Amino acid sequence: MPSNEYYDSSGVPATSSSLNSSVIRAEFLKVQNIGDLLPVMSENGNYFCCVNAGGTGLTSVSPSAAATKMGSELISERDAESSHVGMTLFKINFMDSIGEVKSFLTNANTVSRTYTFPDKDGTIATTADTETVNARVTASNLVISSNTVNIATNAANIETNTNAIASVLEGVYPVPTVDDEGKVPVVQADASMAYEPAGSTLVALDMTSLSTVTLNTAAADVFYLHSVDTDFTLLLSNAVVGRTVVIFIDNSSLNTITWPSIRWPDGETPEMSEGIDVITLTVVAPGVVVGSYALNHIVSV
């Protein structure tokens, strides 16, 4: 046997020689001394075995000490960019609890890449996952696009219908003037309407700078509020059951009107337009006024 650090053979006994007890015991002692170079097994379960610092034998090292030693050695082997040379040639194997390889992380880059992981827990998505998400986003975008087209179409239809209604209503309620005071709208032979003297009365009110106006329903059936230039509050007086009044409001500057308690269609209080709006109010019960409206049906003159 060639000589080594554990056992240096003396060549005894020689081939075909007789045995000599003292010489054989000396050779056995050398073999026994090999054990002195090995760590003991008692109380060293799951420890690692490595050469001692002096290079004179083997010693046992705890897992934590081995990790520290290996870590310091790996750090010392880093290159200028704190990377380990040759790592691109390896796979990172992920094992389960019984030590079986379940998956691999490999590198297919052809140029240098840097990957930074976010400081949070999470699940890494695969290409299949992103394809599924992209497909859903595309489908959602198609639905949104379709709905947008439908909304635009409906808006165009509403505008068309509004213009048609405005065209029909334009001849229904002619614009009253100060000269029509004391007259009421009357249906003419051609189905149009004009203001003619009657038992009812029209009152034209200049609304310049007025913040509150009270309409006396016992004094007139028709009110023309013109020159509206500020927000105002509208009140009714003498509103007895069965009484109906028509109010023309020339609100070209889009001011806000605060109304008394009125039951509007569908509960929606009208928002005034930039044209002349026609409001009809009818007292149907004590304290109960029902309203209807036609907004922006004719351009202010």
pLDDT-based confidence at residue 274 (cuts at 50, 70, 90): confident
| 58 and 39 Cβ atoms separated by less than 8 Å | yes
Q: What is the pTM of this model?
A: 0.36
Cα–Cα distance for residue pair 139/131, rounded to 1 Å? 12
Please report the pLDDT score of residue 263 as a whole number.
Answer: 92
Cα–Cα distance for residue pair 220/182, rounded to 1 Å? 8
Parallel, antiparallel or unpaired: strands 232-237 and 212-216: parallel
- Nearest-CA neighbor of 290 among 271, 273, 272, 267? 267
pLDDT tens-digit map of 116-150: 878 888 877 777 777 777 777 777 777 777 777 77
User: Per DSSP, what are the bridge partners of residue 193?
Assistant: 187
| 257 and 231 Cβ atoms separated by less than 8 Å | yes
Tokens of 197: 């003297």
Helix (H, G, I), strand (E, B) or coil at 9: coil
pLDDT tens-digit map of 70-118: 655 455 555 665 555 554 445 566 777 776 766 777 777 788 888 787 8
Cα–Cα distance for residue pair 202/222, rounded to 1 Å? 5
Which residue ranges make up each domain of the chain?
38-105, 178-298
Element (H, E) at 8: none
| 87 and 115 Cβ atoms separated by less than 8 Å | no
Tokens of 242: 């069965």
Cα–Cα distance for residue pair 114/134, rounded to 1 Å? 25
User: Per DSSP, what are the bridge partners of residue 59?
Assistant: 50
pLDDT tens-digit map of 283-299: 988 889 999 887 664 44
Judged by average pLDDT, the poorest of 163-172, 186-195, 256-265, 269-278 is 163-172
In this prediction, residues 263-292 reach a mean pLDDT of 87
Q: In the chain, what percentage of residues exceed pLDDT 90? A: 7
Model confidence at 241: pLDDT above 90: no
Model confidence at 2: pLDDT above 70: no
Question: Torsion angle, CA of 233/236/237/243, rounded to 10 degrees?
Answer: 170
With respect to CATH, is domain 178-298 assigned 1.20.58? no
How high does pLDDT run on average in the chain?
A: 75
Cα–Cα distance for residue pair 214/245, rounded to 1 Å? 13
Please report the pLDDT score of residue 232 as a whole number.
Answer: 92
Model confidence at 235: pLDDT above 90: yes
| 291 and 278 Cβ atoms separated by less than 8 Å | no
Task: Mark out the alpha helices in 55-126 (DSSP H runs).
Answer: 63-76
